[in-house]
Homo-oligomer: A and B are copies of this chain.
Amino acid sequence: MAEALKTRVSRPIARGEKHQRILDAAISVIAEKGFFQARVSEIAERAGVADGTIYLYFKNKEQILMAAIDSAFAAFLERARAAVSDAAMPPEQRLSRLCQLHLETLGGNRDLALVFQTELRQSARFLAQFSRTRLVEYFDLIRSLVREAQSAGRFRPDISDKIAANCFFGAIDEMVTSWMLSEHQYSLAGAADAVMNVILKGMENRPPAE
């Protein structure tokens, strides 16, 4: 009975832990080598398991990589949603917080930044739907904040929420990319205010100067 209980309790944990170790190892390998250069044997090695063990948890190489990217993005999305959940805060300020979180998260995790900037897009193009779905969810989050700001009269009503979201996301995304390619010579999160200073100003609803 103690045996059974122990087994029932410990196995799931052990299993989950190994599953996660493989996902983490996969992110690390993808970050370093890229999606198509990632080797199953290297993921196994970094996860501290045998090659064959990988296949107890994932159907094939593609599924490992997809799951790894998706799981990383899902976690990111989760935090993003939490960051903008305070309905009491004005929507443009929540967009600022989202920008801050985005730059902080990727600026603080080189592997994540590499994967997001180069591999997520690959997966969006070539691979199954779910990674793309995550991106769409992120966009929808931004768009809903934009519409909210428009409804509140804080953003100009004449701009499309889709285009606004593209400008918002594109500007932030490009900040990450150029930072990533520039070998991180500066603090990414430190640029958040400057970016928002341009983007939000471009959207704000101001009476024409007289």
Contact in complex: B197, A159 (CB < 8 Å): yes
Chain B residue numbers with a CB within 8 Å of A126 are 34, 37
A39 CB to closest chain B CB (Å) equals: 13
The count of chain A contact residues (Cβ–Cβ below 8 Å) is 45
A171-B175 CB under 8 A given contacts A114-B125, A194-B160, A203-B202: no
Interface string of A158-188 (1 = CB under 8 A from B): 1110111011011111110110010000000
Interface residues of A (CB under 8 A from B): 34-37, 114, 117-118, 121-122, 124-126, 132, 139, 158-160, 162-164, 166-167, 169-175, 177-178, 181, 191, 194-195, 197-203, 206-207, 209
10 contacts between A and B (CB under 8 A): A114-B125, A139-B178, A160-B194, A163-B195, A166-B171, A166-B195, A167-B198, A173-B173, A197-B202, A198-B202
